[in-house]
Chains A and B, each alone.
Chain A
Amino acid sequence: MDKGMKILIVDDFSTMRRIIKNLLRELGFNNTMEADDGSTALPMLKNGGFDFLVTDWNMPNMEGIALLKAVRADPMLKSLPVLMVTAEAKRDQIVEAAQAGVNGYIVKPFTAETLKEKIDKIFERLEAQ
């Protein structure tokens, strides 16, 4: 796993973006950027250069699930690893995210260990492919 990879953090709450950014920095990932909604994140992703997407679900304009689907539908972005970090806890939603091609799903509130574990798992799988 490349610690220099470029990560986009998408959450409408700036406090949560800061928490995730701090946790990622503790894990050694310093190359992070932030977006406050799916609709601002998508153009950033399309401009390229991102290696990993961490997104919330419940956001005002474009929700995380719509962002995930848009990423998977885009030929340039379709293989981008996506981790959802969200308070959405309905089974139907988790199934929908899985079917839409999410790489990992963390339910809030979460711990630093959970974030580390899921990121490790995502990249272990990708490297095994």
Chain B
Amino acid sequence: MENDEERRTSQLDQARRLVKHLEAGESQAADEIIRQLRHAFDRELFDELGKLTRDLHEALNSFRGDSRLVELTRDEIPDAKERLNYVVSMTEQATHRTLNALDEGMPLIESLHERSLELTERWTRFRNRELSVDEFRVFAQELDQFFIESGQETDRVKGLMSEIMMAQDFQDLTGQIIRRVIRLVQEVEENLVGLIRLSSSRMEPKPAMEAVVEDDTKGHGPIVPNTQDTVADVVSGQDDVDALLSSLGF
């Protein structure tokens, strides 16, 4: 406050002298006073510019030092694309597996249905005593045949229905992969928000960007081909698991 008061008194004093010099036509002395008045503002501008330069420098440095972002763009984004491609091919396979089972099962069921309708009709005629002895002989043979075939065919249809059920395991496996990609997207988002905060004019302290350090034994879902997953020491299937467990005395 005192400083402001002093500054104002001195500025007022300079202004009065400026008017006096101008009225007296002393242009050189007037220019000198104008230069003195401007000087204070120039220094403030340079100070502000200096501060901005320092901030910019710091922001660039911390951007360069944030290796997590580099890691994300270099490794994890391409990996995520590969993971999503794998999800597409897994869902495609599951759908084909289901449709193949249906393609095989539907004609079996249709034929069973038709034969049973036809046999029912003849059975009714037999009950109404409308069948001749010869007709009955043929009918009995066909019934024998039908009993054998329907046992076999319904067993096959049961197998196909199990196949359809097992094909649904894709939902769990792809779900785990998609959740992992969602976590990655979230991390990228947090890092980008951090970047925006860094480059905004109001310099706030750098937010703690905790890298998701993957614990070696933490669950991370199915192994996806052509990603970082395959770098790890992984088993190739149940036989591999059984061999490993038996080596451990299982």
Binds B, one of A1-9, A44-52, A103-111: A103-111
Residues of A within 8 A of B222 (CB): 87, 89, 108
Are B220 and A58 in contact, CB atoms less than 8 angstroms apart?
yes
Residues 211-250 of chain B, each 1 if its beta carbon lies under 8 Å from chain A, else 0 = 0000011111111000000001111011001001100101
Q: B165 on the interface (CB 8 Å rule)?
A: yes
Closest chain A CB from B130 CB (angstroms)? 43
Q: Find out whether the CB atom of A59 lies under 8 angstroms from the CB atom of B219.
A: yes
Q: Determine how close the nearest CB of chain A comes to the CB of B162; give it in whole angstroms.
A: 6
How many residues in B have their beta carbons less than 8 Å from beta carbons of A? 29
Contact of B219 with A109 in the complex, beta carbons under 8 Å: no
Instruction: Please tell me if the beta carbons of B172 and A11 are within 8 angstroms of each other in the complex.
Output: yes
Tally of A interface residues using CB under 8 Å: 36
B171 near A94: Cβ-Cβ < 8 Å: no
Once the chains bind, are B165 and A19 in contact (CB under 8 Å)? yes
Query: Per a CB cutoff under 8 Å, which of B169, B216, B217, B248 touches A108?
Result: B169
CA distance A96 to B222 in the complex (A): 17
- A22, B165: Cβ atoms closer than 8 Å: yes
Cα distance A111–B241 in the bound complex, in angstroms: 14
Query: Quick check: B175 and A13 within 8 Å, CB to CB?
Result: yes
**Given the known A-B contacts A58-B221, A98-B248, are A91 and B234 also in contact in the complex, defined by CB atoms under 8 Å?**
yes
Tell me whether B168 is interfacial, beta carbon within 8 Å.
yes
Complex Cα spacing A90 to B221, Å: 10
A19 to B170, CA, bound (A): 11
Binding site for B on A (CB under 8 A): 11, 13, 15-16, 18-19, 22-23, 26, 57-59, 63-65, 86-96, 98, 105-112, 114
